[in-house]
């Protein structure tokens, strides 16, 4: 049976419920104002070193350099260290002094939830929502609390709301997993499978990202690691969510790879793809031209360069590139797209018989072939 909470927790709970009209200032408070006075603690937390942060906090206390409000950062470190019960007491001190600290209210809700006290987490969650109305993480904690209280509708709303703001971080993987659980309980197994697959895909992508970032931390000129980062961001964009921020991050990673390895074919080709999707067609064409210069048999660059030329009605170069792509491609999908594009180019050139040959070839390979006008990754 859960033990009674410390007095500080009871007092902060009363404040969050509005049971007291006096006491500490309840206006919004941002704990980041303390960051400049304890940069070592903040750096340790950002590096994921919770125990190191706790040790540094103790050093500040002993030396008399701990600012008022360091309880907040101690509570964060305790939660990161998996010490929810200790965090509960520490955050109680913080909220007793600064109940307007929305982040502490939210972390308090998490601590109570970790300890199996979902009902007691609710007032802190609602106070956090009022203080931090635009923070997406509130939606995720709300979903966790609702799930623990067997409020399936509330949990679904929270997970779905969170995914509107973040569709590809580790927390997004958690949200998809939660929605999969709810869908499975409701008997909609197809929906459950889709969410579970997305969750697993995001988790794998984040694992690869972490591994490649660790390599880059050791050697910023590691072109293979930079390429790996770019490929993960691009796959997330293509397969999970069409978030333009993912394209920007992929482009940065590919550019970093090319700084160390200017002739990296995969970086050149995929940076061209990103440029195309972002609407920078001239840069895409230039990058694919460089790719073909390094590898005259690069079917993807030949195909996409030909598609771009066809889109601009630059028919002679389009014809040459597409025919070369068809010669070197070993991928049936690429072959279909090349045949379809050649059909259109040749019809525009008035060569109906040759166009029909390519049209038939495309039908034979894939009757339901896609529109050739969209360069592919």
What is the pLDDT at residue 204? 97
Query: Is residue 188 included in any domain, yes or no?
Result: no
Q: Which domain holds residue 309?
A: 263-377
Last residue of a domain, one of 110, 133, 156: 133
Last residue of a domain, one of 102, 133, 164: 133
Low-confidence ranges of the chain (pLDDT < 70): 1-26, 367-377
Query: Is residue 303 included in any domain, yes or no?
Result: yes
- Cα separation, 47 vs 43, whole angstroms: 6
Last residue of a domain, one of 106, 133, 160: 133
Query: Is residue 182 included in any domain, yes or no?
Result: no
CATH number at residue 122: 1.25.40.10
Neighbours of 35 (CB within 10 A): 15
Query: Is residue 23 included in any domain, yes or no?
Result: yes
What is the pLDDT at residue 25? 55
Predicted structure pTM score: 0.79
Give the 3-state DSSP-derived string for the chain, with helices as H, strands as E and coil as C.
Answer: CCCCCCHHHHHHHHHHHCCCCCCCCCCCECHHHHHHHCHHHHHHHHCCCHHHHHHHHHHHHHHCCCCCCHHHHHHHHHHHCCCHHHHHHHHHHHHHHCCCEHHHHHHHHHHHHHCCCHHHHHHHHHHHHHHCCCCCHHHHHHHHHHHHCCCHHHHHHHHHHHHCCCCCCHHHHHHHHHHHHHHHHHCCHHHHHHHHHHHHHHHHHHHHHHHHHHHHHHCCCCHHHHHHHHHHHHHHHHHCCCCHHHHHHHHHHHHHHHHHCCCCHHHHHHHHHHHHHCCCHHHHHHHHHHHHHHCCCCHHHHHHHHHHHHHCCCHHHHHHHHHHHHHHCCCHHHHHHHHHHHHHHHHHCCCHHHHHHHHHHHHHHCCCCCCCCCCCC
Domain count, the chain: 2
Query: Is residue 43 included in any domain, yes or no?
Result: yes
Whose CA is closest to 138, among 151, 149, 153, 127? 127
Say which residues have a Cβ less than 8 Å from residue 12's Cβ, sequence separation at least 6.
91, 92, 95, 96, 99, 108, 124
- Side-chain half-sphere exposure of 268, counting CA atoms within 13 A: 22
What is the pLDDT at residue 366? 77
What is the pLDDT at residue 27? 83
What is the pLDDT at residue 15? 35
What is the pLDDT at residue 252? 98
What is the pLDDT at residue 24? 56
Query: Is residue 178 included in any domain, yes or no?
Result: no
Query: Is residue 323 included in any domain, yes or no?
Result: yes
Query: Is residue 214 included in any domain, yes or no?
Result: no
């Amino acid at each position: 049976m859960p033990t009674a909470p410390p007095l500080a927790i009871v007092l902060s709970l009363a404040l969050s419920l509005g049971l007291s009209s006096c006491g500490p200032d309840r206006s919004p408070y941002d704990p980041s104002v303390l960051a400049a006075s304890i940069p070592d603690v903040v750096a340790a937390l950002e590096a994921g070193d919770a125990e190191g942060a706790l040790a540094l906090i103790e050093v500040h206390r002993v030396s008399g350099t701990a600012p008022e409000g360091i309880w907040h950062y101690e509570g964060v470190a305790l939660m990161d260290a998996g010490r929810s019960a200790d965090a509960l007491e520490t955050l109680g001190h913080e909220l007793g002094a600064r109940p307007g600290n929305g982040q502490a209210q939210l972390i308090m809700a998490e601590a109570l939830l970790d300890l199996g006290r979902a009902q007691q987490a609710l007032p802190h969650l609602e106070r956090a929502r009022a203080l931090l109305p635009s923070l997406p993480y509130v939606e995720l904690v709300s979903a966790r609390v609702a799930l623990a209280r067997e409020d399936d509708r509330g949990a679904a709303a929270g997970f779905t709301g969170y995914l509107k703001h973040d569709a590809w971080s580790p927390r997004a993987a958690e949200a998809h997993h939660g929605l999969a659980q709810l869908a499975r309980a409701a008997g909609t197994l197809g929906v459950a499978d889709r969410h579970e697959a997305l969750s697993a895909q995001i988790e794998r992508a984040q694992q690869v990202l972490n591994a490649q970032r660790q390599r880059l931390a050791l050697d910023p000129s590691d072109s293979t690691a930079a390429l790996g980062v770019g490929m993960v961001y691009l796959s997330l964009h293509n397969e999970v969510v069409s978030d333009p921020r993912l394209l920007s991050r992929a482009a940065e990673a590919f550019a970093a790879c090319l700084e160390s390895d200017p002739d990296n074919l995969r970086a050149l080709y995929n940076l061209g793809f990103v440029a195309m999707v972002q609407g920078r067609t001239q840069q895409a064409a230039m990058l694919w031209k460089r790719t073909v210069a390094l590898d005259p048999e690069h079917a993807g660059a030949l195909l996409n360069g030909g598609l771009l030329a066809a889109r601009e009605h630059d028919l002679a170069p389009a014809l040459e590139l597409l025919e070369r792509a068809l010669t070197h491609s070993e991928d049936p999908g690429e072959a279909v797209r090349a045949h379809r594009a050649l059909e259109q180019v040749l019809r525009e050139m008035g060569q109906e018989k040759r166009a029909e040959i390519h049209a038939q070839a495309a039908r034979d390979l894939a009757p339901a072939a896609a529109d050739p006008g969209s360069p592919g990754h």
